[in-house]
Amino acid sequence: MAQEFTTNKQVLKFVEESVALCKPDNVVWITGDEAQYEALREEACSTGEMIKLNQELLPNCYLHRSAVNDVARVEGRTFICTRKEEDAGPINNWMDPQKAYKEVGAIFEGAMKGRTMYVIPFSMGAVGSKFSKIGIELTDSIYVVLSMKIMTRVGQNVLDALGDSNDFVRGLHSKADLDAEKRYILHFPEDNTIWSVNSGYGGNVLLGKKCFALRIASFQGKNEGWMAEHMLILGIENPQGEVKYIAAAFPSACGKTNLAMLIPPEIYRNKGYKVWCVGDDIAWIRVGEDGRLWAINPENGFFGVAPGTNMKSNPNALLSTKKDSIFTNVVLNLENNTVWWESMDKNPPKNALNWKGEPWNAESGEKGAHPNSRFTAPAINCPCISNQFEAANGVPLSAIVFGGRRAKTAPLVYQSRDWNAGVFVGSIMASETTAAATGAVGVVRRDPMAMRPFVGYNMADYFAHWVEMGKKITNKPQIFNVNWFRTDDEGNFIWPGFGDNLRVLEWILKRCDGEVDAKETAIGYVPYAKDINIEGLEGITEQTIEELTTVDKETWTEETKGIEEFYAQFGDRLPKELSENLATLKANLNK
Ligand code: GTP
Ligand code: SPV
Ligand code: MN
């Protein structure tokens, strides 16, 4: 009986209507009870949906393989269904909501016959905190249930916190037939509703993440006066024990998880610097009573990129996956029933199955793990998780950092002149595409604020919202742009990156405190080479920093053309603050 879990009429109605549509054989409410999860793990292992890994080496860890045609977010099949097309804007795919409910409803029709529908009540943010938001995801996938348990706060206490309120997001997901031609990820921001069908992959189906916490939440944030951003949040503790917080937006697979839990270089560790991770992917940001920006991480776990994660690049991420984690599309090492992926170490297993479950050997020259293979790990497993991780009001931001993957053009770091110039810097972000979404990899595209695939409304209005927020923040964070990915003529990354990025963050915090001068350029302020600490770095000299921070007028003049083209799509809806900043940039480049 559903009534034993909640008497909330809206929740009951949503479940009943969805049952009538999808026609599952059973309905199971997820209570948060460990025995229930354990039974689901056993069931998933019995059907092959999950594989139980070596319980001594990886306690409570499992492997899951998605369908081979279902390995990343599908941006081409992701839609914003607002009543008016212009409210979705030129960047989003749009579908008329009535048409969407009807046509995609037909795909949901009877899709759960012979299956169980799981009802997952989840909270984004600590349960009951006034900044948190609640969702109910209905799904026919145990993998989704167990992943949502890691990524969000799930259970009866969420329904209790919701009470009789109608303020919850309705998420409906069915794997259906995993038919890529009938795969749809639909968002109805005006109805607080998400529909996802014919996928079983991460960002398409863990509806609390990109669908809710970014697309729906960005729309809510615009209406309610706050911001939902694709940002990590980290705290940097200096030797005096003071912690300052930075939020940073990089596109998918461009280094958020790595930066969020970096290990300081030795010379910093010896001085007493520490880094604390608050979040690695999403930030919900509000203006506090003190006029500063305060950010929470609404998630409860990390859905991190596996390849490249190793004890050198990101030990904290690797250690986070050592228990209670689910791996998707990595190599299964048959020698000891553990997992492996490219660059985990230099010893690929001899006897192994690749991400598709086929016999595989590194000598074949083929990759064993999918480039977008991932782990889902509880945030509390992270050795450097911040003690503010659950803080109801979040953490105060000293700086906002944008960044992309650019082989040329963008310098290692620069600071914007003021808030609106910073919004401009975010709006002109461009980055090379990665395996996190289906489609070509390595193509430069505009990805404003790393939100191109995630803004749930018209991008021009999203820019305007940033400008509006600036007026309410009396104590503004400084805004910067970074690029860890500049390459030399042979295509090698020049900057060592990873833990050494702290050297750049240190300069950023010094700029926030007015402790260091900077060089003015056409795009903003760049560091004097001597002000980036390179002590202990091999092969990097002041000359290298000089090169990494050059702002080439010719390249940037080319860049302004791309920006103009990009802006043109928004017509009159583009805030004048942005066209003014573009005019300033052009004038600066002509000086
Ligand atoms: P999503 O989870 O898709 O949002 O990705 P993310 O932004 O969290 O990216 P992540 O930290 O997982 O890094 C993605 C890839 O970038 C990995 O292959 C990393 O090894 C690589 N990477 C991360 N930081 C750096 C860096 O500072 N320098 C270089 N060269 N590569 C980096
Ligand atoms: C991203 O692509 O930015 C991710 C992974 O964080 S997903 O959840 O698939 O969106
Ligand atoms: Mn992401």
Continuous segment of H or E residues that includes residue 481: strand 478-482
Closest ligand to C-alpha of residue 203 is 2
* Whether the Cβ atoms of residue 238 and residue 272 lie closer than 8 Å to each other: yes
Note the pLDDT tens digit of each residue in 45-68: 999 999 999 999 999 999 999 999
The answer to whether the CB of 497 is under 6 A from ligand 1 is: yes
Share of the chain above pLDDT 90, in %: 99
Per-residue DSSP letters for 12-75?
HHHHHHHHHHH--SEEEE----HHHHHHHHHHHHHHTSSEE--TTTSTT-EEE---TT--SB-G
The answer to whether the CB of 105 is under 6 A from ligand 1 is: no
Which has the closest alpha carbon to 199: 212, 214, 182, 216? Answer: 182
Which has the closest alpha carbon to 276: 250, 310, 238, 307? Answer: 238
pLDDT band at 502 (very low <50, low <70, confident <90, very high): very high
What's the gap in Å between 249 CA and the centre of ligand 3? Answer: 9
pTM above 0.85, yes or no: yes
Among 209, 230, 252, 258, name the best residue to mutate to test ligand 1's pocket (greatest count of ligand atoms within 8 A of Cβ). Answer: 258
Report d(CA 476, CA 419) in Å as an integer.
8
Closest ligand to C-alpha of residue 201 is 2
Closest residue CA from atom 3 of ligand 2: 252
Closest residue CA from atom 32 of ligand 1: 255
Pick the atom of ligand 2 nearest to 209's CA.
8
* Whether the Cβ atoms of residue 260 and residue 277 lie closer than 8 Å to each other: yes
Residue type, 483: N
Which has the closest alpha carbon to 427: 395, 400, 463, 461? Answer: 463
Note the pLDDT tens digit of each residue in 3-21: 899 999 999 999 999 999 9
DSSP, collapsed to helix, strand or coil, labels residue 122 as strand
What's the gap in Å between 13 CA and the centre of ligand 3? Answer: 32
245, pLDDT greater than 80:
yes
Pick the atom of ligand 2 nearest to 72's CA.
9
Report d(CA 254, CA 481) in Å as an integer.
13
What's the gap in Å between 105 CA and the centre of ligand 1? Answer: 37
Residues lining ligand 2, CB < 6 A?
A: 73, 202-203, 209-210, 252, 281, 303, 436
Per-residue 3-state assignment (H helix, E strand, C coil) for 396-447:
EEEEEEEECCCCCCCCCEEECCCHHHHHHHHHCCEEECCCCECCCCCCEEEC
Instruction: From residue 489, give the alpha-carbon distance in Å to each of 320, 329, 407, 408.
Output: 37, 34, 10, 10
What's the gap in Å between 390 CA and the centre of ligand 1? Answer: 25
Domains of the chain: 2-49+74-224 (3.40.449.10), 229-297+389-590 (3.90.228.20), 301-378 (2.170.8.10)
Report d(CA 340, CA 356) in Å as an integer.
13
Note the pLDDT tens digit of each residue in 545-590: 999 999 999 999 999 999 999 999 999 999 999 999 999 999 999 9
| DSSP for residue 254 | S
Is 277 in the active site?
no
Q: Report the pLDDT value the prediction gives residue 587, as an integer from 0 to 100.
A: 98
Among 204, 230, 257, 382, name the best residue to mutate to test ligand 1's pocket (greatest count of ligand atoms within 8 A of Cβ). Answer: 257
Closest residue CA from atom 4 of ligand 2: 252
Instruction: From residue 569, give the alpha-carbon distance in Å to each of 86, 458, 566, 574.
Output: 12, 11, 6, 9
Closest residue CA from atom 4 of ligand 1: 252
Give residues whose Cβ lies within 5 Å of ion ligand 3. Answer: 252, 281
Tokens of 59: 């306690």
Q: Report the pLDDT value the prediction gives residue 1, as an integer from 0 to 100.
A: 65
Q: Report the pLDDT value the prediction gives residue 106, as an integer from 0 to 100.
A: 98
Report d(CA 396, CA 418) in Å as an integer.
19
What's the gap in Å between 368 CA and the centre of ligand 1? Answer: 19
* Whether the Cβ atoms of residue 122 and residue 33 lie closer than 8 Å to each other: no
Closest residue CA from atom 23 of ligand 1: 255
Report d(CA 468, CA 548) in Å as an integer.
33
Q: Report the pLDDT value the prediction gives residue 2, as an integer from 0 to 100.
A: 80
Mean pLDDT of 345-371: 96
Closest ligand to C-alpha of residue 250 is 1
Report d(CA 40, CA 367) in Å as an integer.
31
The mean pLDDT value of the chain amounts to: 97
Mean pLDDT of 522-538: 97
Q: How many CB atoms lie within 10 A of CB 576?
A: 11
Tokens of 583: 């005019």
358, pLDDT greater than 80:
yes
Continuous segment of H or E residues that includes residue 144: helix 142-151
Pick the atom of ligand 1 nearest to 281's CA.
4
What's the gap in Å between 433 CA and the centre of ligand 1? Answer: 12
Count of all residues that appear for the chain in the document: 591
Note the pLDDT tens digit of each residue in 381-423: 999 999 999 999 999 999 999 999 999 899 999 999 999 999 9
What's the gap in Å between 314 CA and the centre of ligand 1? Answer: 10
* Whether the Cβ atoms of residue 222 and residue 89 lie closer than 8 Å to each other: no
Show the DSSP H helices in 289-334 as ranges.
315-320
Mean pLDDT of 74-81: 98
Catalytic hit among 22, 211, 254, 382? 254
* Whether the Cβ atoms of residue 534 and residue 412 lie closer than 8 Å to each other: no
Report d(CA 220, CA 456) in Å as an integer.
9
